[in-house]
Amino acid sequence: MALVRSFDQSSSSLNIEGRGVYLRYPQLSDYEDWATLREESRAFLTPWEPIWPADDLSRTAFRRRIKRYARDIKEDVAYPFFTFRASDNALVGGATISNVRRGVALACSLGYWSGEKYANLGLTSAAVKALFPFVFDTLKLHRIESACLPNNKPSQGLLRKVGYTEEGLARKYLKINGEWQDHLLFALIKGDPVS
Ligand SMILES: CC(C)(COP(=O)(O)OP(=O)(O)OC[C@H]1O[C@@H](n2cnc3c(N)ncnc32)[C@H](O)[C@@H]1OP(=O)(O)O)[C@@H](O)C(=O)NCCC(=O)NCCS
C-alpha cells in the first residue's frame, strides 16, 4: 500500500452520505442495476465519455471492473463510487476519484455521471459535494480537478454550483467519444468555499 492510513480504505462498509444520496464502493451484486441503467442511458452518456468497449456492459467485464477497482483502491490510485438515492436505494449514477497524485501535488481528478432518468434532480451535485470531506480530510489531498467539454453545460453548471473555479482551456485534453477534445479545467482547493 502506498500510504499508511488510520482506517481501512478498501472497506466494503465505507458509506459516504450526502443530501438525499449515499455513495459506496461498487460491488458484484450491483451488476444488474448498473448495466440496466447504463444501457438505458447509453445515448445520454456516450457523447461525454471515452468509447465504451463492445463488451462493457457484460457481466464478465463488470467482474473485471470490480477487480480493477479493488486494486486501485488498495494502491491509492483511484476511489470509485456508485451513487444511490437515499429514499429508495436506487443506483442513480457514479463518481470516481482517480489519478491520485501524492508528493508535492496532493491532487486528484473527479469524474461523475448520472443515469438519464435521474438527471437534473440534484443527485450528482449532492454526491460530488459529499466526496469533498473524503478527499480533503480522509485522503488528505489538497486539490480536486475536474474537466468537461466546453459544450457540456450541465457539467459546467454542476461544477460552478458546488464551488469549483474555472482555470482554463486544455487543448486536446482527453479522448472523448473517440476524439481528442479540448476541455475546460476546473479545480477546487482545500479551504475553498463550497455551496
Ligand atoms: C453532468 C451530469 C453528471 C449532471 O448531473 P445531474 O444529476 O443532472 O446534476 P444536478 O441535478 O446535481 O445539477 C447540478 C447543476 O447542473 C446543472 N444542470 C444539470 N442539468 C442541466 C441541464 N439539463 N441543463 C443545464 N444545466 C444543468 C445545473 O446548474 C444544476 O444546478 P441547479 O439544479 O441548481 O440548476 C449529468 O447531466 C450527466 O451524467 N450527463 C451525461 C454525462 C456527463 O456529462 N458526465 C460528465 C462529464 S464531464
Q: Indicate the pLDDT class of residue 9, thresholds 50, 70 and 90.
A: low
Which of 141 and 5 is assigned the larger pLDDT? Answer: 141
Q: Give Cβ neighbours of residue 1 (< 8 Å, ≥ 6 apart).
A: 74, 75, 76
Residues 99, 121, 16, 134, CA torsion sign: positive
CA–centroid distance, residue 53 to ligand 1 (Å): 25
107-114/143-148 β-pairing: parallel
Residues 32, 58, 99, 29, CA torsion sign: positive
Pocket test for ligand 1, best of 37, 51, 125 (most atoms within 8 A of CB): 125
CA–centroid distance, residue 157 to ligand 1 (Å): 6
Query: What pLDDT digit, counting tens, does each position of 31-61 carry?
Result: 999 999 999 999 999 999 999 999 999 999 9
148 lines ligand 1 (CB under 6 A): yes
Protein residue with least CA distance to atom 22, ligand 1: 154
| Average pLDDT, integer, range 4-8 | 47
CA–centroid distance, residue 69 to ligand 1 (Å): 25
Query: Could you say which DSSP state residue 9 is in?
Result: T
> Contact 181/173 with Cβ under 8 angstroms?
yes
At 122, give phi and psi (nearest 5°). Answer: 85, 5
158 lines ligand 1 (CB under 6 A): yes
∠ CA 173-177-178, nearest 5°, is: 80
Which atom of ligand 1 is closest in space to residue 128's alpha carbon?
Answer: 12
Alpha helices in the chain (DSSP H): 31-40, 42-45, 59-74, 123-133, 153-162
pLDDT of residue 110: 98
Cα 194 from chain centroid (whole Å): 18
Domains along the sequence of the chain with CATH:
16-145 (3.40.630.30)
Query: What pLDDT digit, counting tens, does each position of 135-176 carry?
Result: 999 999 999 999 999 999 999 999 999 999 999 999 999 999
> Contact 110/134 with Cβ under 8 angstroms?
no
